Amino acid sequence: MSLLSPDQLGIALFPQRLVLVRSSGGLRRRLVHKESLAFAPAETGIPAWQAATDALAEKVSPAALPRAHVKLILSNHFVHYLVIPWRDGLSNQEEHWAYARHCFERVHGGGAAQWKLRLCSDTPGEPRLACAVEPALIEALRTHLGPLGRRYRSLQPHLMASFNSCRAHIGKGPTWLVVAEPGLLCLALLQDGCWHSINRVKVGADWINELPRLLEREACLLDCATPCLDVVLIAPDATRPLVLPAGKWRFTTPSPALLPGMNSGVDAPFSIALAA
C-alpha cells in the first residue's frame, strides 16, 4: 500500500458501544473492516464514558494499527453544548473564551469551570456554538491514543460531525437540526447558517413519535417569532426505513454516507464512524 494513502480508522464512542470502520484506498476508499462492540454501561458512581474508554483501550494500539490514521467521534451523551450570544466590547480571543466559560458556569454551575471548551466560528456579530467535555475524558483519550502520535488526527462531537455531513440540506431559512442517538436527542435551531439554540433531551425507545411534541416545546421555550417547520433529522441508529410522524413538520432525512458495498438499510449505524 502506498504511504500516500494510509488506512483510515473512524471510531465513535457511545455509553454502551464502540463503532469502528477501517478503510483504505486514498480518494476511492474501500471498506477494510467494520465492527460494533457492545458493552455494559458504567456502574453507578463511575463516569458514563469510562466503559467506552476501557473498551477503546482494548481495541486500539500502535501495534494493531500500523500506518492507520485515527479519527474519533464522541457521543452527544459525553458533550455539553451551549450557544454563546455575541457580546460587543470583547476585544480579543481570551475575553471571548472567558465569556464562554462564564456562560457555561451560569448554566451548569461551578463544575463547568474545569471543562475543556471549544468555540466554533468567530464571525463578528454572530452567536457561537461552544462544546465542553470533562477533562478526565480528554485525559483518558490521550492516555489510550497518545501512543499513536500524529496518527491520532482528530476528536469531534457527534453533533458537529452530523452538521458537517448534512450542511447542504440546511438552507438560509430557520431549520431544526435533530441528531438522534439511543436515549438522547440533540435539537438545534439554525438560521442563516448561525446557531440560535441547542438542547439535549433524554428520550425513550419511541422517540420518533415524541419528536413533534419536543419540537413544539422547544419552539415555545424560545418564543420563536418566525415559525420553523423544516427539520433535518440525522438518525443513523433508527430502524430503516424511517417512518416519520404525519403532521405539519417538513422532515428531511439525508442518506448516510457509506463506502461502496455498504447497505444503508443495515450499515447506517456505521456512518457515524465514517463521519470522523
> In terms of DSSP H, where are the helices of 39-189?
50-59, 93-108, 135-145, 158-166
Mean pLDDT of all residues in 13-29: 89
pLDDT in tens, 149-208: 888 889 999 999 999 999 889 988 899 999 999 999 999 999 888 899 999 999 999 999
Q: Give the residue from 268, 272, 273, 212 showing the smallest Cα distance to 240.
A: 268
Whether 233 shows a pLDDT value over 50: the answer reads yes
Range from 57-71, 84-98, 253-267 carrying the lowest mean pLDDT:
57-71
Taking residue 172's Cβ as centre, other Cβ atoms within 10 Å add up to 9
119 exposure class (CB count in 10 Å sphere: 0-12, 13-18, 19+): middle
Domains plus CATH for the chain? Answer: 7-75+134-159 (3.30.420.40)
Q: Give the residue from 241, 179, 168 showing the smallest Cα distance to 211.
A: 179
Whether 128 shows a pLDDT value over 70: the answer reads yes
pLDDT-derived band of residue 26, with 50, 70 and 90 as boundaries? confident
- Which residue did the predictor score with more confidence, 122 or 173? 173
Model pTM score: 0.93
Could you tell me the CA-to-CA distances from 88 to 54, 117, 190, 202, 221 in Å, in that order? 44, 21, 21, 35, 25
Strands 230-234 and 250-252: parallel
Strands 17-24 and 30-38: antiparallel
- Which residue did the predictor score with more confidence, 91 or 117? 117
| DSSP one-letter code for 245 | P
Element spanning 178, H or E = strand 175-181
DSSP, collapsed to helix, strand or coil, labels residue 85 as coil
Whether 11 shows a pLDDT value over 60: the answer reads yes
Strand partners, 12: 19, 73
How big is the CA angle at 167 (ends 56 and 80), to the nearest 5 degrees? 45
> In terms of DSSP H, where are the helices of 109-231?
135-145, 158-166, 207-222
Whether 2 shows a pLDDT value over 50: the answer reads no
Taking residue 47's Cβ as centre, other Cβ atoms within 10 Å add up to 15
- Name the grid cell of 266: 443495515
Distance between CA atoms of 272 and 73, rounded to whole angstroms? 8
φ, ψ for residue 148, nearest 5 deg: -75, -15
